[in-house]
Structures are given as C-alpha cells and as structure tokens.
Structure 1
Amino acid sequence: MSADSPADRAGVRTGARSEPAAELELPRGVALAWGVAANPQRGPKREMSLERIVDAAVEIADAEGLAAVSMSRVAQALGYTTMSLYRYVTAKDDLITLMQEYGTALPPEPDPDLAPDDWRGRIRHVARAQLAQSSAHPWLLDIPIEGTPVTPNNLAWMDAMLETLAALPVTEDERVAIMLLITGQVRWQGVIERSYRDAAGAAGVDPQQIDDARDSILDALVTADEFPSLRRAVDAGVFRHGDDPLAFGFERVLDGIAEYVSTHRDGTPAPPPLSEPDADVADDRNVREARKAIREAEKRLRDARKVERQAIRAARAKRRATGE
C-alpha cells in the first residue's frame, strides 16, 4: 500500500498491531481506524475492500452532503449488495467515523521558516490547514462532536496544535483549553464560509454579491430611529466593504491568549465554568421556578420591543403622510 493510498488518508490500517490498543474493547469504527478490528471472514471478491467503501462514501458526501450517504447508496455505487458492506462495516456510524478520518487527513508538517517560539505563526499555519480540510470536505462540519476524538488522524491534529503551543509558559490543562478555543474558532469560521459558498452556489453568484445584496436590504430597512447603532455600521459600509471580520476575530483570539500568558500567570484562580449547573441542582424546584420566571420576563420584553418598533414605524409613516 502506497504512502498516499486512500487507506492511509482515511486512517484505515490493515496490518496487525501489537500495541495495547489491540487489547482494548474499542467501538468497531474506532478499531477499524486503528487497524485492530478483525477482518471479515467472507465476502465478495477481492474487488471489495474497506478502502473502496470509504472512498465511495466520501465521493457521495463531497458531491451531495453527508445526509446522502447510506449503506445502500454506497453499495449501489460499488455495484454490490448492502449486505456485502456489512461484512466490512457493521454500522453507518462506523462508516462515518472512517469518513471523518479520511476527510480530516493528517496535519501539515511544521513550517520550517517559523521559529519554535513563534506560536502565533505556527497556530496560523495549522489553522489554515484545518480550514482547508473543511473547505475540501464541507460535510466534516456536519459530524457531531461527541467528546474527545480517539482516532489516529484526529489525535494527530490535536498533537500538532498542542505542539504549536509548546513554547507558551502554561500548564497542560491551559494548553488543551487554548487548543479547544482555537479549533472552535476555526470550526465556526468553516461553518460561516460554507454557508456563504452554499448560498452563492445556489444563487449562481459570487459570495461578495451576497453581502452586497444584504447591504442594500439593510440600507433600506434599518433606520436611525429603530436601530441607531446598526444604522451607523450600515452608513460606514461595514457590510459591503468592511475588513474580513473572521480574520479580525481570529487575531483577537490570539491577542487574548497572549494577554493571558503575560498577565495571568500569577496563580490567579481559574474562573468558574460557563456550563449549566449539575443535574441535581438543575432539578431543584426553586431553580426551575426561577428559570420559568426569567423566560416569562424575556417574553414580555420581546413583546414590548415589538410594540415599540411598530409604534416607531407608525409614527414615521404618519410624518411622511403629513409632510412633517
């Protein structure tokens, strides 16, 4: 098997593995990705293989999206029965795992022109490559995140990102948290850019034309009386000719990391988590009643703002009608 074969790109490993991973009770898809799953005892002729199955599934997803992938559709593309596939991949979830390995591929090698302590440049290098993978295989963004990844290529990306942060004087906990912050920002950017590409493709226009059209709509609908701050942004041409807000946001994330490293390495306690309270607290009657009251108050506020907007529009229409 060549170094750039589909199996290598997918993380589908066909050789025996003597490491402890071979002795673990792994989910079938993860075991296939690591090359420690048992091969099928029988099946179609040699033309059928795990690599060909993954290739066919990825080709369908690239053309039509993840929702178009099914075991029967992949079998049809290969010219076999669906039952033939189940001898290699026992469930669609396992196939999705292998597709993700294929689409994720391996992270880039470190840029030799960047110094080891140039953590910002090294992060940009890996982040651009990560964004390129989601652009090449947009369906990757539709695969749910179900905890820390445990397949080879995903772990290789985690390792590469952590290596870019090796020069920072932070704890391993902080390093992992910073990695999650960066990868989350890149994933969000991938989602936004994909949405623009999809909308532009459906309309048969350039993505910039979408922003131009939206700017025209905002210019017509947004008034200084109703949305004063937004009106200033429209008048400034932000939505038509503004700088790339995604690139700006990414750089501010890096600024924040730099600021944290320079000023918060003095033993300051970590801030409390933003997640919801524990389940036993969430079930407390007082908490439930408080949340219900908040929801009702928010609804009243939304209704009041709706009435306010309607009153502003009515007053503006009256001024136009009377010539005031």
Structure 2
Amino acid sequence: MSEQPELPRGIALAWGVAANPQRGPKREMSVEKIVDAAIDLADAEGLTAVSMSAVASRLGFTPMSLYRYVTAKDELTLLMQETALGAPPDDVNEAESWRERLTVYHDALMGSYLAHPWVLELPLATLTVTPNSAAWLDAGIAALVGTPLDDDARLSTTLLVSGHARSAAAVVAEQHRGADFGGVDTDGEGGVLDALVTADAFPDLRRAIDAGVLQSGTDPFRFGLERILDGIAAYLAGPNVGETAAALPARADDSDVHGDKKYREARKAVREAEKALRAARTHQRQTLRDARERQAKRAT
C-alpha cells in the first residue's frame, strides 16, 4: 500500500484518521452529534436549511463551538453525505447471479438516496473519497466477480448501474417535491400532462397518455435497468470477452464464490471489522481528549 497522502480534514474525519479536534468547553459535543443534527435538519427542512449556526442552535450551542470540531460547511456536508448514504446492505452480494446481485445493488443504492433525497443535491465526489462510497463501489465490483470482465469493465459497469440508480432517484425525488405544482394535481388523470398535452401539439405523447401510461403502475425505471443488464449479458456472451478473458492472468477472485457461505461470512466480518475500527478510532480521540482535560485540571 502506498504512503497515505495528507488528507483534507473532512475526508480524514470520515476515515477516522483526523487529528483530534480542538478541546471545546462542552464535553458532550462530538463530530458525530453535529453530523446527526445536520442530517435531521436536512431531512426535515432541506439542504438549504443547513448552516453552521442552524445546526449549533439545534444542539443548543454557539456556532463557534461547532467550528472546534467541523471547520467548514463543506466539511460538514461531506460527513453528512457519508453518514446518510451508509454502507451497502449485506444481501447485495448474496444473490446467485451477477445480474441479481447488480439488481439488488441498484435498488439498495436508489433506496439510500431516496431515504435522504437532499444527498442528490450535493456534487458528485471523487471516487472512494469516503469509506461508505468506497464500500458501495467495492460491492458493485464484487457483484461481477466470476464474470470474464476485467477490472476496467467491472468498474465501468458499476458506475453505469450506480449512475442509473442516482438518476432514477433524482427523478422520483423531484416528482415528490413537485407533487403540488401551482395548485394543480400533477398525479393521475388530473395531472398537468393529461390536462395540457394535446394531440395536435404532441400526438405521440397524447396517444401514450390515452393508453394509460400514467396510470399503469409499472416502475418506469425498471425497463432501463433491465436493458442495461441485457447489454452487459450480451457483451459477456460475445466472442471478444472470451478472448480477452483467455489473455488475462488467472486471478484468485475470478471464480464465482459468492454462493459459498464461508466466503460471505468472511466478507461480512471484514465490513464489520472496518466499521468497528472506525468506531474505535473515534473512541480513542474522545478518550485522549478527556485525558488531556483531566490533566489540565490537575495542573491548575
């Protein structure tokens, strides 16, 4: 592993390798509590409601108290995104086939976005910039273990499916936000499209509306996901993939071991260990801070 680069403080906090915050006057304050309060605020009132002063007020502290732990709003929103996104669920890579695994991956990622739709308003971060974003990327790549795709193709496929999940979640979230558009019901037969789209101006769209597409109840994004997976399946069945796979050196992770119970248990243990390590580092920082406070009191 290469030498660890000097990280921005927000990223270092996410990975649990940041230097201890400056000692504050309130021992009950922590980065985790600040992030949780900010997420609660964003969930209730939207991302625009989140500011250092608003979060401080929610916690009953002054804004300067927060800056001892989180030094900027950009730092705070990065940590909010990391916590809100969470880690991929264990069942992502427990399905039988790569196609089923990617479907579970897609739906779980889309669900994470919709649980906190304000995350979709944040700019896309650099790949693997935080532990949970790295965990999602790892889960997508792992879903393709056992296929003849090389590492580049596995990453590209993961990004393709992830992008579809994010785009679909953004559309659904926007529809929810616009459920009442100017006092006009935007859903069902009384919706804006049904009310305003005419056969003269938009003949094909009008025909689709009359055919009942707005009331079909089908998932409009499932078709797109299935065609993406069809495309990957067709590519895997093509002759070029077989030739590429034959030219690749043998790799231990190229066997389809996802159905093996011990393998799944080992992967789960690794994820739990990584989570425990991050928690332990957080506890270590808090303990060291408390020890310094006790030492300072004894010195006075």
Cα distance in 2 between the residues matched to 1:145 and 1:204: 33
Alignment of 1:81-96 (within 5 A): 81-96=62-77
Q: Give me the TM-score of the superposition, normalised by structure 2.
A: 0.74
| Compared CA separation, residues 45 and 135, structure 1 to 2 (3 A) | same
Aligned counterpart, 1:185: 164
CA distance in 2, matches of 1:171, 1:28: 34
Are 2:134 and 1:158 aligned?
Answer: no
- The change in CA–CA distance for 1:200 and 1:232 in structure 2 (over 3 A counts) is closer
Task: Please name the residue that 1:216 is paired with.
Answer: 194
1:127/1:183 contact within 8 Å kept:
yes
Displacement, 1:201? 6.5
CA distance in 1, matches of 2:93, 2:69: 41
Dislocated runs of 4+, deviation >6 Å: 201-207
For residues 206 and 167 of structure 1, the distance between their equivalents in structure 2, rounded to whole angstroms, comes to: 48
Distance 1:112 1:243, change over 3 A: closer
Alignment of 1:1-324 (within 5 A): 23-110=4-91, 114-115=95-96, 118-200=97-179, 209-210=187-188, 212-218=190-196, 221-223=197-199, 225-241=200-216, 243-263=218-238, 264-265=240-241
How many Å separate the matches in 2 of 1:90 and 1:39? 12
Q: In 1, Cα distance between the equivalents of 2:93 and 2:221?
A: 26
Retained in 1: the 8 A contact 2:110–2:169?
yes
Query: Against the structure 1 CA distance between its residues 89 and 254, is the aligned structure 2 distance closer, same or farther, given a 3 Å change threshold?
Result: same
Gap change, CA 1:205 and 1:168, over 3 Å in 2: farther
Instruction: Determine helix, strand or coil for the equivalent of 1:110.
Output: helix
Q: Is the Cα contact below 8 Å between 2:93 and 2:142 reproduced in 1?
A: no
Aligned mates of 1:206, 1:128 — CA distance in 2: 28
Cα pair distance change 1:106/1:47, threshold 3 Å: same
Cα distance in 2, alignment partners of residues 138 and 95 from structure 1:
17
**Aligned-partner Cα distance in 1 for 2:144–2:62:** 48
TM-score normalized by the length of structure 1: 0.68
Alpha carbons of 1:104 and 1:206: their partners in 2 closer, same or farther (altered >3 Å)?
farther
Q: CA deviation at 1:142?
A: 0.9
Gaps of 5+ in 2: 245-300
Change in 2 beyond 3 A, CA 1:119/1:192: same
3-state SS, counterpart of residue 107 of structure 2: helix
What's the counterpart of residue 285 of structure 1? none
Cα drift, residue 148 of structure 1: 1.5
| Change over 3 Å in CA distance of 1:239–1:140 after alignment to 2 | same
In 2: Cα distance, 1:58 partner to 1:202 partner: 26
SS at match of 1:245: coil
Q: Shift of the alpha carbon at 1:266?
A: 6.3
- Whole-Å separation in 2 of the counterparts to 1:157 and 1:267: 29
Q: Which runs of 5+ in 1 are unaligned?
A: 1-18, 269-324
RMSD: 2.6
Partners of 1:166 and 1:265 lie apart in 2 by: 14
Q: Provide the identity percentage.
A: 49
1:228-247 per-residue CA deviation (whole Å, 9 max, x = no partner) reads: 33333233222332632211
- How many angstroms apart in 1 are the aligned matches of 2:161 and 2:189? 26
- SS of 2:191's equivalent in the other structure is helix
Higher RCO (Cα < 8 Å, 6 or more apart): 2
d(CA) in 2 for partners of 1:214 and 1:247?
Answer: 24
